[in-house]
């Protein structure tokens, strides 16, 4: 399939986060990367990026998003509707296993970030 596609989140002309997805099959995508600058964490940027990803996947005809996540991010992914489906060895740290999640995509959610 084609390579990964990346999207960025900006605030005041500054990139504050990004994500990348790769299409694995007609219906399934994989989250290649998700990052929010630490000073911008807790503001809803990660949630907005994931909502954007789910909408993009739905608009592209996909139905599922596979995620190999950090163990510390399990609560974040579960709060977004992800189900733990297993573990996979880290590609960068031999012997470290990371949780695998699956999100069923429906699309149509609001991706705006409201800041005070």
Question: How many angstroms separate the first and last alpha carbons of the chain?
Answer: 41
pTM over 0.75, yes/no: yes
Q: Grade residue 115 by pLDDT with cuts at 50, 70 and 90.
A: very low
pLDDT digits (tens, 9 = 90+) for 78-90: 999 999 999 999 8
Rounded distance between C-alpha atoms, residue 56 and residue 85, angstroms: 23
CATH class of the domain comprising 5-104: alpha beta
63-86: buried (b, 16+ CB within 10 Å) or exposed (e) per residue? Answer: eebbbbbeeebeeebeebebeeee
Residue ranges covered by each domain of the chain: 5-104
Q: Please say if the pLDDT value at position 63 is more than 80.
A: yes
The pLDDT, as a whole number, for residue 107 is 52
Q: Give the whole-angstrom CA distance, residue 74 versus residue 60.
A: 26
User: Average model confidence (pLDDT) for the chain?
Assistant: 89
């Amino acid at each position: 399939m084609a390579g990964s596609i990346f999207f960025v989140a900006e605030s005041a002309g500054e990139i504050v986060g990004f994500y990348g997805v790769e299409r694995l099959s007609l219906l399934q995508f994989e989250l290649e990367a998700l990052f929010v600058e630490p000073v911008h964490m807790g503001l809803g940027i990660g949630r907005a990026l994931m909502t954007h990803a789910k909408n993009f996947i739905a608009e592209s005809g996909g139905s599922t998003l596979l995620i190999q996540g950090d163990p510390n991010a399990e609560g974040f992914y579960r709060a977004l509707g992800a189900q733990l489906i297993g573990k996979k060895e880290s590609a960068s740290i031999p012997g470290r296993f990371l949780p695998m999640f699956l999100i069923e995509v429906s699309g149509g959610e609001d991706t705006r970030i409201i800041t005070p």
